[in-house]
Amino acid sequence: TAPPSLPVRIGHGFDLHRLAEGYKLIIGGIDIPHTKGCEAHSDGDVLLHTVTDAVLGALNLPDIGQLFPDSDPKWKGARSDIFLKEAVRLMEERGYTLGNIDCTIIAQRPKLSPHKEAIRKNLCALLNAHDSVVNLKAKTHEKVDSIGEERSIGCQAVVLLLRKD
Ligand code: CDP
Ligand code: ZN
């Protein structure tokens, strides 16, 4: 029997990258001036990885690491918008459209408020989504644990997909 085509599907995404000197800090496709950046095989865009996994998760698909293995030289230094655009393509192919998405970046530093609107606008564009359905928040980690000690940056997101009828 065919799997049920649910009218709404929820997805969750989480990602974390180590911070290190010698890497650019790219969040949501935006270059953020900082002394350190995210260590990764790709460009280390913690927000785009999180959102990609949230969309893939909502669709019951394999996660970002399975679809784009970091052992594959093809993805070395890759811009992460490639991953998100593929997730969006798979979403549309399966007959879903974005309902809304809510994201939280967890970073002790740098202060993201000056960049938040640019990041959010770029995320809207990558998702082909209306301005009113993409939300972005930033939190510190109260100076504790790896994020709070500026050794990493984390991100979480939840997404709701709606079936196009
Ligand atoms: O006050 P509360 O513990 O809820 O939040 P916080 O982690 O102390 O962050 C206070 C505010 O700073 C947040 O509401 C964000 O808008 C902003 N923030 C930021 O711009 N960049 C960060 N890396 C972390 C927080
Ligand atoms: Zn990542």
**ipTM of this predicted complex?**
0.86
Q: Which CATH architecture has domain 8-163?
A: 2-Layer Sandwich (3.30)
The verdict on the CB of residue 139 being under 6 Å from ligand 1 is: yes
* Mean pLDDT over each residue of the chain, to the nearest integer: 96
Compute, in angstroms, the gap from residue 106 CA to the centroid of ligand 1.
Answer: 9
What are the boundaries of each domain within the chain? 8-163
Q: Which residue puts its alpha carbon closest to atom 16 of ligand 1?
A: 138
Give the whole-angstrom CA distance, residue 62 versus residue 15.
15
The answer to whether the CB of 97 is under 6 A from ligand 1 is no
Question: Is 140 touching ligand 1 by the criterion CB < 6 Å?
Answer: yes
DSSP assigned state of 2: P
Instruction: For residue 80, report the distance from its CA to the centre of ligand 1, in Å.
Output: 25
* pTM confidence score: 0.95
Q: What are phi and psi of 34, to 5 degrees?
A: -165, 160
Ligand 1 centroid to Cα of residue 66, in Å, is: 32
Residue in the structure block whose two tokens are 């809207």: 124
Q: What is the mean pLDDT of residues 73-83?
A: 92
Q: Which of 115, 112, 125, 126 is nearest to 80 (CA)?
A: 126
